[in-house]
Structure 1
Amino acid sequence: MLGAIAGDIIGSVYEHHNVKIKDFPLFSNKSKFTDDTVMTVAVADSIINNREYIDTVKEYFHRYPYAGYGFNFKKWNKSDSKEPYYSWGNGSAMRVSPVGFAFNDLETVLIEAKKSAEITHNHPEGIKGAQATAAVIFLTRIGKSKDEIKSYIESNFNYNLSQTLAEIRPTYKFDVSCQGSVPQAIICFLESTDFEDAIRNAVSIGGDSDTIACITGGIAQAFYGALPEFIAEKIWEFLDESLRDLTLEFMSKYCMNSSLD
C-alpha cells in the first residue's frame, strides 16, 4: 500500500509535466499526495473496519475535497446519488492495491476488487482494470514469477503485455482509461529491477504519471518487499496524521514485509 502512495506522490509533479527519461528527481517542493492516495486509504479503511466501499469513498472525498479528482467522480461525490456512473477510468485501478494485499485467495481478491470498483466504475473495463491490478499484487505475494504473472494477466484479462517500454515511451500520451494505462503500468513493473526502478519506469513513459506510478508502485511493493528506506522516510512526511495512521494500521496488519519506518 505504501508503494502505491509513493508512486502517487513521486508522480504528482509529472502528471501535467511529463518526462520521457528515467533520470529525474524523485521529490521536489511541488510533490504532494493526490486523489490516488486519498482513495487508496479509503479502500484500506473499508477493509480494516469492515465498512462499505461506497461509504469510505464518499467520506474521504469530503475530508479531502481538493485532492485533484476527475470531473465525473467529483460530481458523483457532491450528489446524494449512490448509483455508479459506468466509468472506465483508471481510478478503479489506482485505489485497489489494499485489496491485493488484504485477501488470501485469488477468487476473493477478484470479488473484492470488483466490489471496490463498481461503486463508480461499473463499466467492464473499469472493473477489469481493478481486478487485473489486484490480481497482480496477489500473485506476487504468493511467489509467482514475472513470466507467470504476465501469462495469467494476458490470458485472463486480454491485456497486451508484450510491448516494451522502449516501444511505448515515444508515442504514449495522457490516457485516463483503464485499458490505456493499466497494461502500461504492469509493464513498468515487469521491466523493473527494484522498487525505485519500477517507479522511474512508470514516470518515464509520460501520460497520467501519478496514477500509472501509483498502480505500478503497489505492485512493486508486493513483489520487492520493503520500500527503499530513503523513499519510505520521505513518503511519511507528506501524509497528514489521519492518512498516516490508517496506512500504518493497514500495513501492520497486511504488509509485514514492507517498510514501517
Structure 2
Amino acid sequence: MLGAIAGDIIGSRFEGHSKPPQDFALWHADCRFTDDSVCSLAVADAFLDRADYALRLRDFVRRHPNAGYGGMFIRWAMSDNAGPYGSWGNGAPMRTAAIGWLANSEEEVLYQASAQAAVSHDHPSAVTAAQAVALAIFQLRRGESGAAVQERLVQDFGYDLNPERALKSGGFDVSAAGTLPPALAAAFTAEDWVQAVRTAVCLGGDTDTLACITGAVAEALHGLPQDVGETARSHLAPDLLEVLQRFENATQR
C-alpha cells in the first residue's frame, strides 16, 4: 500500500511530460501526493470500516479537492447522488491496492475490487483492471511466484505483459486497459522496487498513476525500501497518515 503511495508521489512531478532520464532524482521539491494516494487511502478506509465506497471516496476528495482529479471524477465526487458514469479510465485500478493486502480470499479480492471500481468507473475494462491489480497483490503476498502471477493475469485478464511490447507503448494512454500492461510489466521485469518505479515513470505521460500501480505490485513482489517509505510518509497530510497507520495495523495482525 505504501508502495502505491510512494510511486504516486515520485511520479507526480512528471505527469503529462515526456520521458525523464532514467537516473532522475526520486525525490524533489515538486513531489506531492495526488488523487491516486487520496483515493487509494479512501478505499482502504472504506474497506476497514466496511463502509460505502462512494461515500468514503467523496469524503476524502472533498477534504483534498486540489489533488489533480479528472474532470468527470471530480464532478461525480462533488455530487451527493451521481451514479457511475461508464468510465474506462485508470482511476479504478490505481486505487485498489489496499484490497489486495486486506482481503482474506480470492473471492473477496475480486468482489471488493469490483465494488470499489463500479461506484464511478463501471466500464467492464476498468472493473477488470481493478480486479487484476488487487489479485496480483493478493497472490504475491500469499507467496505465489512472479512468473505464476503474470501467467494468471495473462490467462484470466488477457493482458499482454511481454515487456518488449508492453513497455514500448509509452505512458500517455489513460485507459485502464492501456495502463495495466506497461504498469504491470514494469513491476515484473524489475529487480527491485526502485527499478520498477523508475521504469514506469520513464514511460512519460500519466506518470503518477503508472508509478502508483507499478509501486503497488512491486511492493508485494520485491518489498519497499525503508527510506522510500519514510520519505513518502513525510509528504502525506495528517488525516491520510492516520488512515495509512490504521491500514498497517490491520495488515500486521
The bucket for the TM-score relative to the shorter chain is over 0.9
Aligned-partner Cα distance in 2 for 1:172–1:217: 17
1:43–1:14 Cα change, 3 Å: same
Partner of 1:43: 43
Q: Counterpart amino acid of 1:49?
A: D
1:42–1:186 Cα change, 3 Å: same
1:10–1:44 Cα change, 3 Å: same
Partner of 2:236: 239
Normalised TM-score (structure 2): 0.96
Secondary structure in 2 aligned to 1:179? helix
Aligned-partner Cα distance in 1 for 2:173–2:121: 16
Aligned-partner Cα distance in 2 for 1:90–1:45: 20
- 1:185 and 2:183 aligned: yes
Aligned-partner Cα distance in 1 for 2:249–2:193: 20
| CA deviation after TM superposition for structure 1 residue 172, in Å | 1.8
Secondary structure in 2 aligned to 1:13? helix
Identity of aligned residues (%): 39
| CA deviation after TM superposition for structure 1 residue 169, in Å | 4.7
Worse-superposed segment, 34-43 or 143-152? 143-152
| CA deviation after TM superposition for structure 1 residue 135, in Å | 0.7
Cα shift readout 1:158-215 (whole Å, capped 9, x = no counterpart): 1111233xx5555524111001101111101110111111111111122210001000
Aligned-partner Cα distance in 1 for 2:166–2:148: 22
The number of residues matched between the two structures is: 253
Contact 2:15 2:204 in 1 (8 A): yes
Normalised TM-score (structure 1): 0.93
1:124–1:255 Cα change, 3 Å: farther
Correspondences of 1:71-110 after superposition (within 5 Å): 71-110=71-110
Partner of 1:224: 222
Structure 1 residue runs of 5 or longer lacking an equivalent are 257-261
Correspondences of 1:1-261 after superposition (within 5 Å): 1-164=1-164, 167-169=165-167, 171-225=169-223, 227-254=224-251
Worse-superposed segment, 115-124 or 214-223? 214-223
1:233–1:253 Cα change, 3 Å: same
1:98–1:173 Cα change, 3 Å: closer
The runs of at least 4 consecutive aligned structure 1 residues that moved more than 3 Å come to 167-171
1:238–1:126 Cα change, 3 Å: same
Secondary structure in 2 aligned to 1:181? helix
User: How big is the alpha-carbon RMSD for the aligned residues of Structure 1 and Structure 2?
Assistant: 1.4
